DNA sequence: CTCCCGAAAA
DNA sequence: TTTTCCGGAG
C-alpha cells in the first residue's frame, strides 16, 4: 500500500496517514495531481490504513472468503464461535449479510436467503449470484491493475501499523478520537488535522465530557486552522453533548446514530463505523470513488445505464456486487488512483494500465480548448 | 446550488 | 487573479 504513518499517536492512525508519491513525480503529470506538498486529504485515506495491514476489519469476522472467483466461502470454526453477543454493538454483519455482500439496510436482493443450516461450521457456502447484481466485466482485472499502479508509486514505510498506533488509547477514547478526527479532517490537509488533534489532546480535550465543559471559542482556537474550523467547533460541542447524554461519553455505535451527529454525513459515518467500530456497514464513498466507479462503468442508476448522481447512489450500486472484503480497501485504492491518474479533469488515460477496460478512457478532452460550457453533456464526469 | 474556510494550483 | 480542493448542511 501507499500509506505510511506519519506520526505515531494515540489516536487512530487514519489521522496521520499520508500517501507518498515518491516515484510519481513524472513530468507528464499535471501538477495538480501531484500533491508534492499537499499530500492527500486524510479523510480519504482513513479506511485504507486498516486494509493496508491486512487486518482490515473485524478480527472476529464470521467467516472468510476462500476463493473469490468461485464465489465460495468457508466458515472456520474459531471465527464462527466468536459471534458477538450484541450484534448492534460489536456489530459484525451476520452471515447472511456478508454472504450476500450487501449493506445491512439496503437489502433489495434479499429474496432468497440461505437457510441457516447452510451455515454450519466448516461447510462451504456458495454465493448465489443474483442477476440484478451482476459484477461488471473484468472488474477483477481492473482492480488488480489499479492496485499495481498504486503499489508502484508506493511509499516505503508501511510498517507502522495503524492498529498499533490506534490501540494505545482505551477503546472508548480511541473511538471518540476517531470520530473527532473524522470531523476535523474533511476538507483539511492531514498534517493540519493532526496538529489540531494533538492540541486537543494536549489540553485534555479529546473526550466528550471535556469538550462539553469548555468554551466553544477554546475549541475553535485549538482546532484552527482546519477547514471550516468555526462550524466544526460548534459541531464538536454539539457532538460532545450528544455523546455524553445519549451514549455515556462514547460514540454512537450505529450508522444511524452517527448520522444524527451534526457534521457527520454518510462518508464519515461509514468511515467511523469501519475504523472506529471495526464494523463494515458500507463502503466509504467520497468523490473519487464516486467519479472513478462511474468512469469505469462499475455503477449506474438502478434500472438504467446512467451514471449515478451522488456518492450515496454510488455506494448503493457498488455494494450490490463488490465483494465485501473489498469494501474497505476500495476507498484508499481509488482515492490515490484518482489523485494521480484518474484525475477529476484531464485524466491521464495514457498512464493508466487499465484504460482498455475503461469505457470512459480518452473520452475527455484533455485540452482546455473547450471553455464552452455549453448546455450540458460536456464532460463524462 | 451556495456556504463554510483557507491554502495552493492554475 | 480565479479556481480547485471536495464533506456536510440548508
Full-model pTM = 0.65
The radius of gyration of chain A's CA atoms, rounded to the nearest angstrom, is 21
Residue nearest to nucleotide B6 (CA to C1'): A227
Residue A261's nearest nucleotide, by CA–C1', is C8
Place of cell 451527529: A261
C1’ C10 / CA A222, Å: 27
* Nearest nucleotide relative to A232: CA against C1': B4
List, in sequence order, the alpha helices (H) in chain A: 42-51, 77-81, 95-100, 139-152, 162-166, 171-185, 190-202, 208-212, 216-223, 229-247, 255-259, 266-271, 287-295, 311-321, 330-340
Chain C: nucleotides under 7 Å from a protein CB? Answer: 4-10
**Which residue's C-alpha is at the least distance from the C1' of B8?**
A38
Residue with smallest Cα–C1' gap to B9: A32
* A3: helix, strand or coil: strand
Taking the CA of residue A145 and the C1' sugar atom of nucleotide B10, their distance in angstroms comes to: 30
Task: Round to whole Å and give the CA distance between A372 and A374.
Answer: 5
> What is the spatial distance between Cα A21 and Cα A24, in angstroms, rounded to a whole number?
5
Distance A32 CA to B7 C1' (A): 13
Partners of residue A5 on adjacent β-strands: A17
Q: What is the residue-level pLDDT of chain A in tens, covering all 381 positions?
A: 333 232 323 333 333 333 333 333 333 323 333 333 233 333 333 333 333 333 333 322 222 232 233 323 333 333 333 323 222 222 222 222 222 222 333 333 333 333 333 333 433 334 444 445 689 999 999 999 999 988 876 533 322 223 333 557 899 999 999 999 999 999 888 888 888 998 999 899 999 999 999 999 999 999 999 999 999 999 999 999 999 999 999 999 999 999 999 999 999 999 999 999 999 999 999 999 999 999 999 999 999 999 999 999 999 999 999 999 999 999 988 988 988 899 988 898 998 999 999 999 998 754 333 333 333 333 433
Per the listing, cell 471550516 goes with: A228
Q: Which nucleotide is nearest to A368 (CA to C1')?
A: B10
Closest nucleotide to A220, Cα to C1': B5
Nearest nt to the A32 alpha carbon by C1': B9
Whether A135 and A323 have beta carbons less than 8 Å apart is answered as no
Closest of A150, A211, A155, A203 to residue A179, by C-alpha: A211
What does strand B contact on the protein, if contact means CB under 7 A?
A 30-33, 36-38, 187, 225, 227-231
Tallying the residues shown for chain A, one arrives at 381
CA to C1' distance (Å), from A38 to B3: 24
Active site residues of A: 267
Q: Which residue has the cell 516515484?
A: A23
- The distance (Å) linking the CA of A180 with the C1' of C1 is 36
Name the residue closest to the C1' of C9 by its CA: A263
Give the CA-to-C1' distance from A72 to C10 in angstroms.
46
Amino acid at each position: 500500500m501507499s500509506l505510511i504513518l506519519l506520526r505515531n499517536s494515540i489516536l487512530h492512525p487514519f489521522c496521520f496517514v499520508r500517501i507518498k508519491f515518491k516515484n510519481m513525480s513524472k513530468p507528464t503529470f499535471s501538477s495538480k495531481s501531484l500533491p508534492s506538498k499537499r499530500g492527500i486529504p486524510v479523510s480519504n485515506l482513513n479506511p485504507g490504513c486498516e486494509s493496508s495491514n491486512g487486518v482490515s476489519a473485524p478480527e472476529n469476522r464470521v467467516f472468510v472468503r476462500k476463493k473469490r472467483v468461485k464465489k465460495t466461502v468457508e466458515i472456520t470454526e474459531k471465527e464462527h464461535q466468536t459471534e458477538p453477543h450484541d450484534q448492534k454493538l460489536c456489530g459484525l454483519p451476520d452471515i447472511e449479510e456478508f454472504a450476500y455482500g450487501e449493506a445491512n439496510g439496503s437489502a433489495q436482493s434479499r429474496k432468497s436467503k440461505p437457510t441457516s443450516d447452510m451455515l454450519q461450521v466448516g461447510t462451504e457456502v456458495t454465493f448465489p449470484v443474483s442477476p440484478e447484481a451482476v459484477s461488471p466485466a473484468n472488474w477483477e482485472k481492473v482492480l488488480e491493475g489499479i492496485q499495481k499502479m498504486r503499489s508502484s508509486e508506493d511509499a516505503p514505510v508501511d510498517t507502522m501499523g495503524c492498529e498499533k498506533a490506534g490501540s494505545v488509547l482505551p477503546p472508548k477514547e480511541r473511538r471518540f478520537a476517531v470520530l473527532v478526527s473524522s470531523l476535523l479532517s474533511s476538507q483539511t490537509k492531514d498534517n493540519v488535522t493532526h496538529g489540531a488533534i494533538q492540541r486537543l489532546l494536549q489540553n485534555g480535550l479529546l473526550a466528550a465530557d471535556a469538550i462539553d465543559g469548555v468554551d466553544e471559542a477554546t475549541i475553535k482556537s485549538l482546532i484552527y486552522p482546519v477547514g471550516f474550523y468555526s462550524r466544526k467547533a460548534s459541531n464538536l460541542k454539539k457532538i460532545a453533548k450528544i455523546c455524553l447524554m445519549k451514549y455515556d461519553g462514547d460514540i454512537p455505535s450505529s450508522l444511524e446514530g452517527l448520522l444524527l451527529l451534526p457534521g457527520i454525513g454518510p462518508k464519515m459515518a461509514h468511515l467511523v463505523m469501519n475504523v472506529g467500530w471495526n464494523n463494515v456497514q458500507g463502503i466509504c464513498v467520497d468523490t473519487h470513488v464516486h467519479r472513478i466507479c462511474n468512469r469505469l462503468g462499475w455503477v449506474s442508476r438502478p434500472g438504467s445505464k446512467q451514471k449515478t448522481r451522488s456518492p450515496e447512489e454510488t455506494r448503493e450500486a457498488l455494494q450490490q456486487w463488490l465483494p465485501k472484503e473489498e469494501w474497505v480497501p476500495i476507498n484508499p485504492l481509488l482515492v490515490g488512483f484518482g489523485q494521480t491518474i484518474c484525475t477529476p479533469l484531464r485524466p491521464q488515460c495514457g498512464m493508466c494500465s487499465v484504460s482498455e477496460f475503461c469505457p470512459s478512457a480518452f473520452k475527455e478532452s484533455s485540452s482546455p480548448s473547450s471553455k464552452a460550457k455549453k448546455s450540458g453533456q460536456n464532460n463524462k464526469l
